[in-house]
Amino acid sequence: MATILCIETSTNVCSVALSRDGHLLAVRDISEGYLHAEKLLPFVLEVISESAVQKKEIQAVAVSSGPGSYTGLRIGVSTAKGLCYALDIPLVSISTLQALAWKVKQDLMLKELNPTESVLFCPMIDARRMEVYTALYDSNLKEVMKVSAEVMEPTTFADYFKSHTIYFTGDGADKCKALFAEQKKAAFDLQSPATASAMCALAENAYIKGHFENLALFEPFYLKEYKAGKSGSVD
């Protein structure tokens, strides 16, 4: 049972949420370009103010651990660490892909379509061209296929489609939709970007279990080695 500040910066979306006992109190999101460095700290102050929560009441900071944008993850993690040091509270890391899978599962449950063992969730984060960062999760959000960088082809998930319906989501899913157009067991939720509000329940669970990161040693899960882009671009 905790009050947790959640930070999500792994994609073009800069998002901050404050939760209590896993329930959302306030959230701020912006997806208009990479404005993480400019918007992140103001968003933190805004959600705290809106929730009428004192800084001393915040018991942990949760941050998206990736994979995703190198620059975005670096900004999010450095900010989260700074807040943890300043407030003397623990750091929780949440997989960006698992949070995306959680959001799709919740959307299905709200529609009274409770996921079964025959359902898999496939969150995707755009990694340029036809490559995505992805993984597969079952209905309990357990990892079925480990996180990897994959170049999408029509046969990529052929074995899984034999016995599962797969729900695709995330900013990398749209460019893959045409590949699976003839696959009846493919479903797409393209309206679920990576946001901090999807981290709240997962962060609460991690806090209860005492799954905290070492502040001095923790680094984001970049998955791929950073390569500098052209001037003006953000990786």
Query: Within 10 Å of residue 96's Cβ, how many Cβ atoms?
Result: 32
Report how far Cα 24 is from the mean position of its chain's Cα atoms.
Answer: 16
Does the domain at 96-189 match CATH 3.30.420? Answer given as: yes
For 109-142, how does the pLDDT look when each residue is reduced to its tens digit (9 = 90+)? 888 777 788 999 999 999 988 899 999 999 999 9
The predicted model gives 173-192 an average pLDDT of: 89
For 14-65, how does the pLDDT look when each residue is reduced to its tens digit (9 = 90+)? 999 999 999 999 999 999 878 999 999 999 999 999 999 999 999 999 999 9
- What are the extents of the domains in the chain? 3-95+194-209, 96-189
Comparing C-alpha atoms, which of 134, 192, 126, 133 is closest to residue 160? 134
Q: β-strand 3-8 against 60-64: which pairing, if any?
A: parallel
Identical fold for domains 3-95+194-209 and 96-189, yes or no, is yes
The interaxial angle of helices 36-51 and 70-87, nearest 10 deg, is: 40
CATH of domain 3-95+194-209: 3.30.420.40
